[in-house]
């Protein structure tokens, strides 16, 4: 693991690292914030933040102000990238909502994506293994959150792995990718035309069978330009209610899809995770 940079931050250390990934076949960058409590020894709970379309580790690390709250609650904060980089596959860079920066946290099954676009396994297996080996993480206390495409990823990872994650939340998540243009485009090309295969990466489908039974927090801005067409939180609300899963969707008046929105409520989300991981 290569250290790219380190900065003192709220009494802790914000670092950025690079490692060769077996899942993606590329070098992958990720950020880790170690709160000041790490200096005391022992292990700490960890929270993974998955970013959205066109983003990488830098967005939440620089724009959200999350380190302040991670330091307050003694959480390690990990932010991975959103896709492999440097491949230049045919069509990979043609649009913002597919390919580079848009891995959708799935394990692709279609060529040429299947050899490298394995972000689900990267996020749920390879990266946590590396982080646990290199940082003082309590692997029994892991939480996951994210924004937009990353909110979709966080929900999918938690609902599919209730024994791995003890807390989950999301900002403006794509809750039903099988039913919206962003998701249909990505899942169709990564996974192929069989919509039954899409269900494994659709939160509204996963709530029907998941063993997850802990509180889920979602914040959604009412002025979000993607709300009606791409996000559609009401679909998850209905599905979770039918499944008896505790879901709290907070509609925040006047907030949009930007990191101004995330910065306004990131403290609530980290508090939510700290309570679940305590």
Task: Give catalytic residues, as residue numbers.
Answer: 148, 224, 257
DSSP codes joined into one string, the chain: -EEEEEEEETTEEEEEEEEE-TTTSSEEEEEEEEPGGGGG-S-EEEEEEE--TT--HHHHHHHS-HHHHHHHHT-EEEEE-SS--S---TTTTSBTTBBTTB-TT-B--STTGGGT-BHHHIIIIIHHHHHHHHS-EEEEEEEEEEBTHHHHHHHHHHHH-TTT-SEEEEES----GGGSHHHHHHHHHHH-S-HHHHGGG-HHHHTTT----S-EEEEEETT-TTIIIII-HHHHHHHHHHHT--EEEEEETT--SSHHHHHHHHHHHHHHHHHHH-
């Amino acid at each position: 693991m290569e250290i790219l940079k380190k900065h003192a931050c709220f009494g802790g250390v914000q670092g950025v690292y690079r490692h060769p990934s077996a899942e993606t076949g590329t070098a992958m960058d990720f950020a880790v914030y170690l709160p000041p409590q790490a200096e005391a020894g022992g292990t700490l709970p960890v929270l993974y933040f998955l970013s959205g379309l066109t983003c990488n580790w830098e967005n939440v690390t620089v724009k959200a102000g999350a380190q302040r709250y991670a330091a307050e609650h003694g959480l390690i904060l990990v932010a991975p990238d959103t896709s492999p980089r440097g491949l230049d596959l045919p069509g990979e860079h043609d649009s913002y909502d597919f390919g580079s920066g848009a891995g959708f946290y799935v394990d692709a099954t279609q060529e040429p994506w299947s050899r490298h676009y394995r972000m689900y396994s990267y996020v749920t297996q390879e990266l946590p293994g590396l982080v646990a080996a290199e940082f003082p993480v309590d692997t029994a206390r892991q939480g996951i959150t994210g924004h937009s495409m990353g909110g979709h990823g966080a929900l999918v990872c938690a609902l599919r792995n209730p024994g791995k994650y003890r807390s989950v939340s999301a900002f403006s998540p794509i809750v039903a990718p099988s039913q919206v243009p962003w998701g249909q485009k990505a899942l169709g090309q990564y996974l192929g035309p069989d919509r039954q295969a899409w269900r494994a990466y659709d939160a509204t489908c996963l709530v029907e069978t998941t063993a997850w039974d802990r509180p889920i927090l979602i914040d959604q801005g009412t002025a979000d330009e993607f709300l009606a067409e791409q996000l559609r939180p009401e679909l998850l609300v209905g599905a979770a209610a039918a499944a008896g899963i505790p879901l709290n969707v907070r509609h925040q008046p006047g907030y949009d899809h930007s990191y101004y929105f995330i910065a306004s409520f990131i403290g609530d989300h980290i508090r939510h995770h700290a309570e679940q991981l305590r």
